[in-house]
């Protein structure tokens, strides 16, 4: 038996929240590697990028927003479908919940299974889970790009390519060159790739870099407030994706099974990335998806609470 507890069930320590002002219009709610929320304050309304995992947890975001503005929170943007990002939406009482068509399709196809899987993986991240009223359904679904004007402030909501999921959506403030990337970029936190398109992800990072952002709010980790920090976030994410998928592809091509490929990849990545948060949590799911993509599954398979546990037992015990 390994001493690793399933996923993040042993991760119980509360994190410290930061609420950073990035510009006149943009704020980042971050928490030492826990999922981030972005806030855009327009002339007439507030837009929130990712909601936190439960309505009770979202109340802390709302409290911070109310310290800087009393404008109505009208829009929620879902960077992707993962439960830990979207299930707090009802707390904001938004007029619209905006998502890409691909994100909407994923909620239809696997939202229910994903909710159960994520709640078991990360109990700490679903504080007051009983306050979740059910799945979060988008009310406004777009393809490729949606331009929203919050008074004079332009907000570009864009799907620039697949990576962390097939529905990945970024929010871009062109006048201020500020990007909210969702889990396409992480900083000091391990990218989760259980639902990823690893072959496509680097080109999507190229598309993000081509916007030439001055500041970037990643999916997890501190807000990146200089061009150098933005570059580090993009480079670190790319380095992890490339190293992990590369190791798995080599193992799969050599005919080794998932368990041996996992052990080799874990050992190869641990010295460089082992101190990034949720490394031990992510690696089994990351390697499993990478192995699937390298062998026979073009699209990620649905994770269920049951499949999570079977995988964990097959790799860690």
Residues that bind Zn ion (CB under 5 A): 82, 183
Q: Which residue has the tokens 């501190």?
A: 222
Indicate the residue among 116 and 263 with the shorter CB distance to Zn ion. Answer: 116
Smallest gap from Cβ 85 to Zn ion, in A, equals: 6
The sign of the CA dihedral 239, 246, 193, 207 is: positive
Alpha helices (H) in the chain, listed in sequence order = 55-68, 83-86, 101-121, 201-210, 227-253, 258-273, 279-295, 305-316
Cβ within 8 Å of residue 257, ≥6 positions away: none
For residue 222, the minimal CB distance to Zn ion (Å) is: 18
Q: How far apart are alpha carbons 217 and 110 in whole angstroms?
A: 27
Q: Please identify the residue of the shown chain whose CB is closest to the bound Zn ion.
A: 82
Distances (CA, A) of 286 to 23, 52, 153, 262: 35, 22, 38, 9
Under a CB-based contact definition with an 8 Å cutoff, are residues 290 and 296 in contact? no
Minimum Å gap between C-beta 115 and Zn ion is 13
Nearer to Zn ion, 28 or 153 (CB): 28
Nearer to Zn ion, 106 or 148 (CB): 106
Q: Confirm if 81 and 70 have CB atoms less than 8 A apart.
A: no
CB of 189 to Zn ion, least distance (A): 11
Instruction: Give the per-residue SS3 of 109-126.
Output: HHHHHHHHHHHHHCHHHH
The smaller minimum CB distance to Zn ion, of residues 183 and 316, is found at 183
Pick between residue 102 and residue 183 the one whose CB is nearest to Zn ion: 183
Nearest to Zn ion of 82, 249 (CB atom): 82
Q: Minimal distance in Å, beta carbon 274 to Zn ion? A: 21
Structure tokens at 144: 């490729």
Determine the Cα angle at 291 with ends 193 and 123, to 5°: 40
CB of 300 to Zn ion, least distance (A): 12
Q: How far is the CB of 164 from Zn ion (least distance, A)?
A: 6
- Calpha distance 86→215 (Å, rounded): 23
Question: Contact at 8 Å (CB) between 88 and 52?
Answer: yes
> In the complex with Zn ion, which residue's Cβ is closer, 176 or 183?
183
């Amino acid at each position: 038996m390994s001493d690793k507890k399933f996923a993040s069930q042993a991760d119980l320590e509360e994190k410290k929240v930061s609420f950073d002002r990035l510009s006149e219009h943009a704020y980042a709610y971050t928490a030492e590697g826990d999922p981030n929320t972005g806030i855009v304050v327009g002339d007439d309304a507030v837009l929130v990028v990712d909601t936190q995992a439960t309505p009770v947890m979202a109340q802390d975001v709302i409290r911070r927003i109310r310290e800087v503005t009393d404008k109505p929170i009208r829009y929620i943007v879902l960077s992707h479908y993962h439960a830990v990002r979207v299930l707090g939406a009802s707390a904001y009482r938004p007029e619209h919940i905006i998502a890409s068509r691909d994100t909407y399709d994923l909620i239809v196809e696997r939202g229910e299974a994903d909710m159960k899987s994520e709640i078991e993986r990360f109990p700490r991240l679903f504080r007051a889970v009983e306050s979740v009223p059910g799945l979060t359904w988008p009310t406004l679904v777009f393809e490729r790009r949606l331009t929203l004007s919050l008074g004079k402030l332009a907000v570009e909501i864009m799907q620039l390519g697949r990576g962390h999921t097939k529905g990945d959506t970024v929010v871009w403030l062109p006048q201020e060159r500020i990007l909210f990337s969702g889990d396409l970029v992480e900083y000091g936190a391990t990218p989760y790739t259980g639902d990823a398109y690893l072959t496509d992800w680097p080109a999507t990072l190229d598309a993000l870099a081509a916007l030439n952002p001055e500041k970037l709010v990643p999916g997890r980790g501190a807000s990146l407030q200089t061009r150098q920090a933005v570059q580090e976030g993009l480079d670190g994410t790319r380095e992890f994706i490339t190293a992990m998928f590369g190791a798995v592809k080599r193992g799969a091509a050599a005919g080794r099974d998932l368990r041996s490929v996992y052990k080799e990849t874990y050992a190869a990545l641990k010295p460089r990335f082992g101190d990034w948060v949720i490394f031990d949590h992510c690696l089994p799911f990351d390697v499993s998806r990478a192995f699937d993509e390298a062998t026979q599954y073009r699209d990620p398979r649905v994770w269920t609470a049951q499949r999570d546990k079977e995988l964990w037992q097959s790799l860690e015990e």
